């Protein structure tokens, strides 16, 4: 009988040798006369175990990892004999790190062949879309609203309300735009889902198109993600062939087409209005709001613009899961969040779970602390615009409002762990420098504030009139926070101010005893 072996084609797995492992498995099987079929899936998100290799057995898939190319022959033999192996991890679904998760959005990621519509359908794919076709626009919108889904890109705006505005606005044509410009360091959930389960994004966008009466959608993917671009393009072609995109989608009266557009290395294009400008072929300069994209978006037409993860959450919700989705979470943060554990961390990867888990659980319990084995000193939550939290704040629950209350943000759900060798004044300087380089230049607080911020932090780091210059940085941050047009200038103060507040001792060459108040 042919052994079915699963090897990830996720960029994170390829980066640590998954292609070579797949090749070696083929070679070893040919040499031993073992019949195998290798299916390239997405990643399960347990990156410290990548390249992870799974084999279909009567008990379910059994995993081995991390497998190197030199391990491949012995792993293959162990698979064939169902025998012991040092890298054998047991039944994949029983691996505690995976079992503890609530995978709604990522249910299929790492399981299915991301190029196959049939495989997607065999794992509940297109159920939400089929149900949506039987509903009225209002009923679809009611489901999205009832799920409590909030924009997963970072802003956390209720998706249902965003969508509702579009059908209420009359226009000759409307658009659905997917923001796949995942530029935040420490985040990779968009990349993973596009590479591992691209059809869920397509299905979510198609449902949006049906709900708001849009016939064209764009997925704007950053150029740093060539594997995701390839995977999305392949999936779009497959969906077209299967009648899920194009004229009369799924046999309905609706038409919906999708196109991938590739960014060109500008971080600010992750901001939705800048992204729209870029899609229109212009410099990624932020637009003033109003008008909102829902009223005047792409090419001046009403546009639904959401993050990859927001669209990817939609199929589950529309497949009758609105209430089930809303039942997860705490407060006004409903459902699950695909959290990304990254940086200097022992068990890094994607952990999808209900809102409410604490930062400490995520770092110590699930993440296992640092990879270097040194104490965790700081974690940055929410990308380059997110605050640095010290251990004293590890009781913060993962929840939009709880992070806001502590001068932070959850952003796109990325957490970067730093050990005690980190110099926080350097990190604060980097935040300002990054903002200066990436600023679109439209508003003064961001454009000038960030440059002055770098200069002033440099003075502090050299020990020049530290107290006065710290006051200048605080003043600059205040101006940037309240005076910037978008989140780039507006949120850069979070990493800077949090570093100053919680790690003040790093802002003077002669260490002061000004310990953080908390």
Q: Which is nearer to other proteins, 380 or 479 (CB)?
A: 380
Work out which of 36, 235, 279, 457 binds other proteins, going by CB under 8 A: 279
Which residues contact residue 482 at a Cβ distance below 8 angstroms, ignoring those fewer than 6 apart? 490
Alpha-carbon dihedral sign for residues 476, 482, 484, 487: positive
Instruction: Tell me which residue of 379, 366, 392 sits closest to 418, measured CA to CA.
Output: 379
CB 118 to other proteins: min, Å? 28
- Full DSSP string of 121-174: HHTTTTHHHHHHHTS-HHHHHHHHHHHT-B-TTTT--BHHHHHHHHHHS--S--
Q: CB of 366: closest distance to other proteins in angstroms?
A: 12
Task: Find the length of the chain.
Answer: 518
| Position among 267, 398, 494, 507 found at the interface with other proteins (CB under 8 A) | 267
Rounded to a whole number of angstroms, the minimum distance from the CB of residue 420 to other proteins is: 12
Number of residues that bind other proteins (CB under 8 A): 61
Residue 106 in contact with other proteins, rule: CB under 8 A: no
User: Per CB under 8 A, does 493 bind other proteins?
Assistant: no
Strand, helix or coil for residue 517? coil
Under the binding rule (CB under 8 A), the answer on residue 224 touching other proteins is: yes
Q: Can you read off the two tokens belonging to residue 512?
A: 């002061």
Closest separation in Å from C-beta 225 to other proteins = 6
> What is the SS3 assignment for 19?
helix
**Hey, what are 118's tokens?**
């049939």
* Angstrom distance (rounded) from CA 391 to CA 201: 36
Q: Which is nearer to other proteins, 138 or 420 (CB)?
A: 420
Q: Which residues are CB-contacts of 341 (< 8 A; sequence separation ≥ 6)?
A: 347, 348, 349, 350, 351, 362, 363, 366, 367, 415, 417
Peptide bond into 66 cis (omega under 30): yes
The interface region with other proteins, picked from 43-51, 310-318, 356-364, 497-505 by CB under 8 A, is 43-51
Which of 430, 501, 505, 516 touches other proteins by CB under 8 A? Answer: 430
For residue 16, the minimal CB distance to other proteins (Å) is 5
According to the binding rule CB under 8 A, does residue 16 interact with other proteins? Answer: yes
What's the CA gap between 362 and 352, in Å, rounded?
A: 11
Examine residue 261 and tell whether it contacts other proteins (CB under 8 A).
yes
Which two three-digit tokens encode residue 463? 């020990």
Instruction: Report 432-461 residues binding other proteins (CB under 8 A).
Output: 434, 438, 440
Question: Which range in 117-125, 198-206, 339-347, 456-464 contacts other proteins by CB under 8 A?
Answer: 339-347
Cα 292 to Cα 397: distance, rounded to the nearest angstrom = 31
**Contact positions with other proteins (CB under 8 A) in 369-428:** 371, 380, 383-384, 414, 416-419, 422, 427
357 binds other proteins (CB under 8 A): no
Residue among 160 and 293 whose Cβ is closer to other proteins: 293
Q: Would you call the peptide bond into 36 cis, given omega within 30 degrees of 0 as the criterion?
A: no
Pick the closer one to other proteins by CB: 135 or 346.
Answer: 346
What is the smallest separation between the CB atom of 68 and other proteins, expressed in angstroms?
11
Residue pointed to by tokens 């509903």? 135
Shortest spacing between CB 5 and other proteins, in angstroms = 22
Q: Which is nearer to other proteins, 141 or 180 (CB)?
A: 180
- Of 7, 99, 119, the C-alpha closest to 53 is 7
The answer to whether 217 contacts other proteins (rule: CB under 8 A) is: no
Closest to 129 (Cα-Cα) out of 294, 245, 257, 260: 245
Binding of residue 299 to other proteins (CB under 8 A)? yes
Sheet holding 60-64, edge to edge: 36-41, 3-8, 53-57, 60-64, 88-91
Pick 209 or 263: Cβ nearer other proteins: 263
Interface stretch with other proteins, choices 96-104, 223-231, 394-402, 444-452 (CB under 8 A): 223-231
Whichever of 349 and 445 has its CB closer to other proteins, that residue is 349
Compute how many other C-beta atoms are within 10 angstroms of the C-beta atom of residue 119: 18
Three-class SS state of 40: strand
Query: In 3D, which of 265, 287, 251, 229 has the Cα closest to residue 437?
Result: 265
| Nearer to other proteins (CB atom), residue 23 or residue 330 | 23
**Does residue 365 touch other proteins according to CB under 8 A?**
no
**Residue numbers 134-193 binding other proteins by CB under 8 A:** 182-188, 190-191
Task: Give the binding site for other proteins (CB under 8 A).
Answer: 11-12, 14-16, 47-48, 50, 182-188, 190-191, 223-227, 261-267, 278-284, 299, 340-345, 348-350, 371, 380, 383-384, 414, 416-419, 422, 427, 430, 434, 438, 440
């Amino acid at each position: 009988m042919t052994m079915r072996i699963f090897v990830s084609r996720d960029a994170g797995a390829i980066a640590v040798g998954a292609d070579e492992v797949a090749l070696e498995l083929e070679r070893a099987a040919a040499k031993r006369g073992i019949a195998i079929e290798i299916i390239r899936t997405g990643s399960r998100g347990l990156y410290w175990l990548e390249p992870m290799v799974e084999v279909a057995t009567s008990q379910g898939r059994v995993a081995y990892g991390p497998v190197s190319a030199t391990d491949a022959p012995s792993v293959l033999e162990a698979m064939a004999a169902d025998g012991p192996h040092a890298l054998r991890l047991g039944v994949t679904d029983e691996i505690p790190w995976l079992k503890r998760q609530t995978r709604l959005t990522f249910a299929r990621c790492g399981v299915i062949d991301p190029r196959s519509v049939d495989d997607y359908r065999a794992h509940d794919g297109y159920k939400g879309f089929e149900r949506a076709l039987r509903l009225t626009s209002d009923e679809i919108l009611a489901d999205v609203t009832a799920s409590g889904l909030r924009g997963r890109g970072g802003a956390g705006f209720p998706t249902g309300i965003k969508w509702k505005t579009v059908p209420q606005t009359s226009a000759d044509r409307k658009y659905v735009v997917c923001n796949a410009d995942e530029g935040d360091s420490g985040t990779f959930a968009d990349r993973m889902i596009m590479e591992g389960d691209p059809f869920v994004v397509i299905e979510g966008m198609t449902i949006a198109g049906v709900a708001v009466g849009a016939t064209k959608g764009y997925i704007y993917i950053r150029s740093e993600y060539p594997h995701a671009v390839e995977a999305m393009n392949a999936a779009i072609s497959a969906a077209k062939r299967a009648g899920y995109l194009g004229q009369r989608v799924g046999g309905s009266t609706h038409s919906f087409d999708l196109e991938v557009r590739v960014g060109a290395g500008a971080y600010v294009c992750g901001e939705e209005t800048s992204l729209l400008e870029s899609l229109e072929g212009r410099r990624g300069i932020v637009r003033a709001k109003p008008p909102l994209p829902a009223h005047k978006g792409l090419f001046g037409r009403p546009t639904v613009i959401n993050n990859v993860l927001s669209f990817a959450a939609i199929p589950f919700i529309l497949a009758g899961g609105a209430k089930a989705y809303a039942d997860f979470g705490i407060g006004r943060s409903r459902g699950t969040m695909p959290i990304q554990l990254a940086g200097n961390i022992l068990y890094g990867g994607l952990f999808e779970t209900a809102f409410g888990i604490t930062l400490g659980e995520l770092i110590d319990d699930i993440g296992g602390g640092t990879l270097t084995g040194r104490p965790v000193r700081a974690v940055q939550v929410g990308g380059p615009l997110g605050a640095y939290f010290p251990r004293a704040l590890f009781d913060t629950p993962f929840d939009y409002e709880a992070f806001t209350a502590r001068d932070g943000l959850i952003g796109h759900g990325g957490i970067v762990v730093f050990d005690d060798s980190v110099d926080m004044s350097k990190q604060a300087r980097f935040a300002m420098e990054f903002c200066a380089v990436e600023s679109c230049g439209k508003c003064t607080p961001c454009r000038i504030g960030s440059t002055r911020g770098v200069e002033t932090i440099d003075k502090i780091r050299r020990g020049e009139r530290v107290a006065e210059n710290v006051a200048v940085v605080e003043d600059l941050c205040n101006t940037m926070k309240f005076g910037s047009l978008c989140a780039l200038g507006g949120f850069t103060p979070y990493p800077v101010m949090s570093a100053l507040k919680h790690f003040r001792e790093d802002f003077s060459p002669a260490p002061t005893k000004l310990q953080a108040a908390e």
